[in-house]
Amino acid sequence: MRDDLFGEVKYRNYLDRPPRSLVAELRKPLSRHQLAVLDSKSRECSVCCSRRSGKTFLFTVMLFIAALSAPEALARYWAESRLRAKERVWDRLLRINDRLDIGGKANITELSIKLPNGSEIRLTGADKARDAEKKRGDLSVRPILEVIDEAQAYGSFLGKIVNDICSPGLADLRGRLILSGTPGPVCGGYWYFVSGAKSGDASLVKGFERFHWTAKDNVAEPHIWRELREIKERRGWADDNPTWLREGLGLWVDDPDALFFKYQTGRNDYDTEVISPMGDGWAHVIGWDLGKNHNNALSILAFHADDPNVYEAFSWKPSQSENEDVHRVVDSLSNAAEIHSLLRGLKRETTTDGIMGLVRGMADGGLNIVGRVADTGGLGGVLVEEVAKRTGVRFEAAKKTERDAHVRLINDAYLSGKIKLRPGSPLHEEVSSLEKDPDWPPFSAKPAPPRPGQEDHCSDSHLYAYMLSYHWTHERAQRQPKKGTQEYYEAQEQELVEHEEEKAQRDDSRDWWEE
């Protein structure tokens, strides 16, 4: 006999009506597109659809069916935060549980529902990297289903959740992983390579079965498609408008206007096999965004007298993993042995000593560091001053009061293709997914800030570093003939003549009281 009478009644009802009949009831409202995802034999699936297409309802059904299919198992739903998870699916789960008399016991504090067979449906948030990391070592659960919703909102953390937390845990019960969302503003990043990249793309993430449909296929709420079409007409959007293609049709298309930085795939990337922004002639500037523990970030930008562009040489922020996988970064920096060795030893060390060790190691490894700048707001100024006293490494203060002007300048450089990022780096993944706040007043005198809740520590650090770089000296260098040639000496002579003529003109123009 179970401890509580209510639980005993629910448990007997569950035994009287086996899960097969419950599953049949749960399947009834689903459309053919939703059933295709449910019945797929693929262990990993991506569901990239338009807004209001019925994805969330599908996942509430899948969570129950998965939890009913195996005793003592876990069916988990991921959102950007626990609040978002609760807003999207919690009430729906409770309604299904009550209407079908499934017998699940809800825990509002844990956002979980315990079924009579011992399985559990649980909602979780990925907004705190360290909180998400705790899920890795929980040996008390055996996941049967992991659903990661609104995948476009996770940025660089999505691949870490999939590869470090979800996929290994699904091995016990050979469970399923579902990534779901709408297309992001740029054709790049993990979510794009899972759900939208073409078969010939080298960055394509293999093994995922793809599913796609729109609100037009939402048979449960057919009026929604009409509403979306009316919105399109009211806004005056053409059929090829990026917002309509992305949100209304669920199609991948580059939409730089939705990004905080005017990044564009291809235009603002460089091939690390062709260009290595280190060694003779290269100068480097470090930007440091200070924060508490995992909010620290470094970006190092490089420029050269023979090149008009600014290149990302390196970027770093603390890993969400206890043992940071830095091999991918290390391989791209293999021409600097000291950096190679230093990065292999860098784990989760985010103290000022650890970060300064990283900076000093890079300088010793061959970087020609000509400038350092840091966010000195709040306690940042105290930390920077303490670093200078203890290590002798001094950083200039970032001019955050001029941030809006600096953002405009760096966006001009992005639009002209004069900023090049390393594909796959922390900075690249952040900049290519950092969206503008969609709720910002369109006629505001101030430009829209980044969407709340998105990580922007690396992108801030690269903004600080950009304002210290001297890439613009390339134009002056280009006008200078090669040293030792006849043209070089003629140019030097002409420059001396011009200097003397200017000095003479200044002398002639002075008034008597200046003499």
> What letter represents residue 246's amino acid?
R
H/E run at residue 62: helix 55-69
Q: Which two tokens stand for residue 354?
A: 């650890």
**Cα angle, residue 40 at apex, residues 34 and 45 outer, rounded to 5°:** 85
How far is Cα 443 from Cα 357, in angstroms, rounded to an integer?
46
Task: Give me the percent of the chain exceeding a pLDDT of 70.
Answer: 71
Quickly list H helices, 204-299: 223-235, 242-243
- Give the model's pLDDT for residue 211: 96
Read off the pLDDT of each residue in 202-217 and give the average, rounded to a whole number.
Answer: 87
Residue 135 has pLDDT above 70, yes or no: no
**pLDDT confidence band for 243 (50 / 70 / 90):** confident
**Residue 139 or 76, more confident:** 76
Q: Which residues contact 112 (CB under 8 A, 6 or more apart)?
A: 106, 120, 121, 122, 123
Query: Per the confidence metrics, is the pTM higher than 0.95?
Result: no
Most confident region among 142-146, 288-292, 378-382 by mean pLDDT = 142-146
Rounded to an integer, what distance in angstroms lies between the CA atom of residue 411 and that of residue 424?
20
Segment 347-393, tens digit of pLDDT: 344 455 556 666 666 655 567 888 888 876 655 555 666 665 555 56
Q: Is there a contact between 96 and 61 (Cβ–Cβ < 8 Å)? A: yes
CA dihedral 84, 88, 90, 92 (to 10 degrees): 180
Is the pLDDT at 434 greater than 70? The verdict is: yes
Strands ordered across the beta sheet of 282-289? 396-397, 369-374, 282-289, 297-304, 307-316, 419-420
d(CA 426, CA 313) in angstroms, rounded, equals 12
Give the pLDDT of residue 63: 96
Q: What is the mean pLDDT of the chain?
A: 78
Tokens of 358: 């990283």
Q: CA–CA distance from 59 to each of 26, 80, 102, 148 (Å)? A: 11, 16, 17, 10
10-24, 75-89, 253-267, 305-319: which has the minimum mean pLDDT? 10-24
- Alpha-carbon distance of 435 to 437, in angstroms, equals 6
Q: Which of 362, 356, 364, 349 is nearest to 386 (CA)?
A: 356
Structure token pair of residue 256: 């730089």
List, in sequence order, the alpha helices (H) in 335-485: 337-345, 352-364, 380-391, 403-415, 426-431, 457-466, 473-479
pLDDT in tens, 49-81: 998 899 999 999 999 999 998 889 999 999 988
d(CA 67, CA 60) in angstroms, rounded, equals: 11
Distance from C-alpha of 369 to C-alpha of 504, rounded to nearest angstrom:
40
Q: How high is the pLDDT of residue 503? A: 59
Could you tell me if 432 and 425 are in contact, meaning their C-beta atoms sit under 8 angstroms apart?
no
Q: How confident is the model at residue 139 (pLDDT cuts 50, 70, 90)?
A: low
Report the greatest alpha carbon distance in the chain: 111
Residue closest to 464 by CA, chosen among 421, 406, 416, 412: 406
- More reliable by pLDDT, 3 or 325: 3
